[in-house]
């Protein structure tokens, strides 16, 4: 094991939440013991912690998860304070300092704020502080929230180029079927997410728990995002007291997820996984082939339709004639400009727009295949 590797560890609501004041203290103490071991071995650790809403529900005497977004946000506001205090109390015993970091999807989707978050977290690590990160539920709304800390964890794994991303859950890992309906479900020890021979339809339709908002579907989606950044990725049990230690010792544990695709550069990683799409360009078969098979840039001549309203520099999708996303990238033109020049040869653009700042709608350096 290399010294100074970066670990992003996500602890789900089913683990963090408990009967005693809304928190499972035994789990958090065990997590802290394992993290303390990793820190002594020279590893850097970030914890993505769910449980703020559950903690707030407990303090406010609310028994069932509220349906009202405003009440959920109120629970989160109360719970985030309590969660932060508990983490610091537990880690103080081991001589570590923690720092609370609240992030929303909007922070990740905005390139400038994405880089600011990166600088903050890396500064905390340089100061030997353990960042305790949660989605900022008290201000997030349904349309902009990640909906589950799995994807937030994957975003942070990409943000700091983590070496390891571990999603701890109340299951052994990813199972062959829903154990609540199939007693014969078995652990999938390894999954290549790009292997089309593997049928993951059952996992992609799995439901979330009572207190959490994600299921195995979000874990697989998060795994794909983390793998794009080069992080080794696991879904494993947080109920065992040595899961992280076993991963450190390179032992088999839980489900290890891999990919055939190469690691994306920082800019393309943000484009592929984290940026907020502002609109779409529907392109013809020739343009689709040029992007997929020849690694070309997208030119106006290949565009059939424009969907949505966006500005120059915004992130847009490229869709084929059947409506499937085949790529996404940063547009050199606004939607209004593209409406005027779609289907037009490059040499005609200047006459139509009165200028020609760029020949490509999306340059291949700013484009990622889906």
Domain ranges of the chain: 6-268, 277-369
**Within the chain, which residues score under 70 in pLDDT?**
1-3, 19-20, 137-148, 196-214
Q: What's the pLDDT at 212?
A: 40
What pLDDT was estimated at residue 221?
87
Q: What is the pLDDT of residues 10-61, one digit of tens each?
A: 998 889 988 667 889 999 999 999 999 999 999 999 999 988 888 888 899 9
pLDDT of residue 194: 80
Any idea which architecture 277-369 has in CATH? Roll (2.30)
DSSP assignment of 131-185 = EEEEE-TTT--TTTS-SSHHHHHHHHHHHTT-SEEEEEESSSSSBSS-TTT-TT-
Query: How distant is the alpha carbon of residue 210 from its chain centre?
Result: 21
pLDDT digits over 49-62, tens only? Answer: 988 888 888 899 99
Q: Which CATH number fits domain 6-268: 1.10.3720.10, 3.10.580.10, 3.40.1160.10, 3.40.50.2300?
A: 3.40.1160.10
3-state secondary structure of 130: strand
According to the model, what pLDDT value does residue 208 have? 45
State the pLDDT at residue 214: 45
Identical fold between 6-268 and 277-369: no
For the chain, the 3-state helix, strand and coil shares in percent, each to the nearest 5, are 40, 20, 40
Position 324 scores a pLDDT of 94
Residue 292 to residues 80, 97, 245, 317, Cα–Cα distance (Å): 45, 48, 42, 14
Q: What pLDDT is recorded for position 213?
A: 42
pLDDT at 301: 95
**SS3 assignment, position 37:** helix
């Amino acid at each position: 094991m290399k010294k100074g590797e970066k670990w992003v560890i996500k602890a789900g609501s089913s683990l963090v939440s408990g009967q005693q004041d809304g928190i499972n203290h035994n789990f958090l103490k065990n997590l802290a013991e394992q993290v303390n071991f990793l820190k002594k071995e020279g590893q850097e650790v970030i914890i993505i912690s769910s449980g703020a809403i559950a903690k707030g529900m407990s303090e406010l005497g609310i028994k069932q998860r509220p349906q009202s977004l405003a009440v959920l946000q109120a629970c989160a506001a109360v719970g985030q304070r309590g969660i932060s205090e508990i983490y610091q109390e537990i880690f103080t015993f081991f001589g570590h300092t923690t720092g609370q970091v609240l992030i929303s999807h909007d922070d990740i989707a905005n390139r400038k704020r994405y880089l600011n978050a990166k600088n903050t977290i890396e500064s905390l690590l340089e100061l030997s502080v353990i960042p305790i990160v949660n989605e900022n539920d008290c201000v997030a709304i349904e349309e902009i929230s990640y909906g589950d800390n799995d994807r937030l964890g994957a975003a942070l794994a990409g943000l700091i180029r983590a070496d390891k991303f571990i999603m701890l859950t109340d299951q052994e890992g990813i199972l062959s079927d829903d154990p609540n309906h199939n007693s014969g479900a078995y652990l999938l020890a390894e999954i290549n997410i790009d292997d089309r021979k593997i049928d993951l339809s059952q996992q992609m339709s799995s439901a979330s728990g009572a207190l959490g908002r994600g299921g195995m579907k979000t874990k697989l989606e998060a795994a794909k995002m983390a793998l794009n950044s080069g992080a080794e990725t696991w879904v494993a049990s947080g109920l065992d007291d040595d899961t992280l230690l076993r991963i450190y010792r390179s032992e088999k544990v839980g489900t290890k997820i891999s990919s055939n695709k190469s690691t994306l550069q920082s800019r393309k990683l943000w484009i592929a996984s984290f940026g907020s799409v502002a609109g779409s360009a529907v392109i013809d078969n020739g343009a689709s082939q040029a992007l997929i098979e020849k690694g070309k840039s997208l030119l106006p001549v290949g565009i059939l339709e424009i969907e949505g309203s966006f500005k120059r520099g915004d992130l847009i999708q490229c869709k084929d004639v059947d409506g499937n996303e085949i790529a996404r990238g940063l547009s050199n033109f606004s939607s209004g400009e593209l409406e005027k020049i779609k289907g037009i040869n490059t040499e005609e653009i200047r006459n139509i727009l009165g200028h020609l700042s760029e020949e490509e709608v999306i340059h291949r350096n700013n484009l990622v295949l889906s």
